[in-house]
Amino acid sequence: MRETGFRSHIPEPTIRIFTDFDGTMTREDVGRELFRHFCGSTVFNHIRSRWVDGAMTAPEAYDALCRSIPVLRETDLRDFLLPYEIDPSFPRFAEWCAERNYPLLILSDGADQYIDILLNKAGLSMPHLSNRMHLTPTSPDMEYPHFDPRCPSIANCKSNHVALRAQDDDLIVYIGDGASDFEAAQYADMVFARGALEQYCQEQNITFRRFYHFTTVREVLSLMISQNTLRRRKRAELRRRGLWSGG
Ligand SMILES: [Mg+2]
């Protein structure tokens, strides 16, 4: 009954999908557990509370965490990561995005070292923007190529990535679970949330859908696209434009 023949002549907007990694593509926050494991709970909790209180920026906190690890070898890292895996429903989701030409990009405030190992374990090769960790003969070093002092509580400013890539006609989908996703979610037309992000969206009046795994995301998006209910959110669109025009 739907006017599919008619609609096929209308150019389809690009649906750009951004996803967080820790706690979103994985069940646990792998980065947090990694630092807790290698720094020890006491040091980790102390630095983390100063970070959460705003006494340290995210890069300062990561640097302090790294300095408290005497040495981190690749074998230590691989052994630590053995129990962790990417959500088994994610590869099918990534495939679905690729089939439909929806650009899918991972934005993480974690580190490339463990993300790469876990992606590899899941047989995935896909782009991600994150902080960089360098393993050295002593303490690991971190690099923050995407830090923006405008967002000091995160080392990788995710909202910049969203705004930089979003074209005027795009529909932006964001999937996440935590504090590092708060600002970026404000730039999205459709948010899939769980955990702290879910509460944040409620408080900020950002429409969202709760998700448990990526099958939910795929099914909900498919339905919205077929029913033409995936729409641009005015407030998000203004933010995307405003970020760059504001200088
Ligand atoms: Mg997360």
Position 13 confidence tier, pLDDT thresholds 50, 70, 90: confident
Instruction: Please give the pLDDT value at position 247.
Output: 46
Cα(195) to centroid of ligand 1, in Å?
9
Instruction: Please give the pLDDT value at position 1.
Output: 40
Cα(233) to centroid of ligand 1, in Å?
23
The tens digit of pLDDT for each residue in 135-150 reads: 999 999 999 999 999 9
Kindly give the pairing relationship between strand 171-176 and strand 15-19.
Answer: parallel
167 or 38: which carries more pLDDT confidence? 38
Q: What integer is the mean pLDDT of 61-71?
A: 98
Position 241 confidence tier, pLDDT thresholds 50, 70, 90: confident
Whether the pLDDT of residue 5 is over 50: the answer is no
Cα(8) to centroid of ligand 1, in Å?
37
Cα(175) to centroid of ligand 1, in Å?
9
SS3 23: coil
Instruction: Please give the pLDDT value at position 3.
Output: 42
Cα(80) to centroid of ligand 1, in Å?
19
Q: What integer is the mean pLDDT of 238-244?
A: 81
- Rounded Cα gap, residues 175 and 18, in angstroms: 6
Cα(20) to centroid of ligand 1, in Å?
6
- Residues 6 or more apart whose CB falls under 8 angstroms from that of 82 comprise none
Whether the pLDDT of residue 232 is over 60: the answer is yes
In the DSSP assignment, the letter for residue 86 is B
8 A C-beta contact, residue 140 and residue 66: yes
* % of the chain surpassing 90 pLDDT: 90
Whether the pLDDT of residue 246 is over 70: the answer is no
Instruction: Please give the pLDDT value at position 168.
Output: 87
Cα(12) to centroid of ligand 1, in Å?
30
Instruction: Please give the pLDDT value at position 33.
Output: 98
Instruction: Please give the pLDDT value at position 43.
Output: 98
Cα(176) to centroid of ligand 1, in Å?
6
Cα(231) to centroid of ligand 1, in Å?
25
Query: Domains along the chain?
Result: 4-242 (3.40.50.1000)
168 or 214: which carries more pLDDT confidence? 214
8 A C-beta contact, residue 81 and residue 117: yes
Instruction: Please give the pLDDT value at position 245.
Output: 64
* % of the chain surpassing 70 pLDDT: 93
Number of residues written out for the chain: 247
The tens digit of pLDDT for each residue in 81-114 reads: 999 999 999 999 999 999 999 999 999 999 999 9
Cα(9) to centroid of ligand 1, in Å?
39
The tens digit of pLDDT for each residue in 177-194 reads: 999 999 999 999 999 999
- Rounded Cα gap, residues 132 and 141, in angstroms: 8
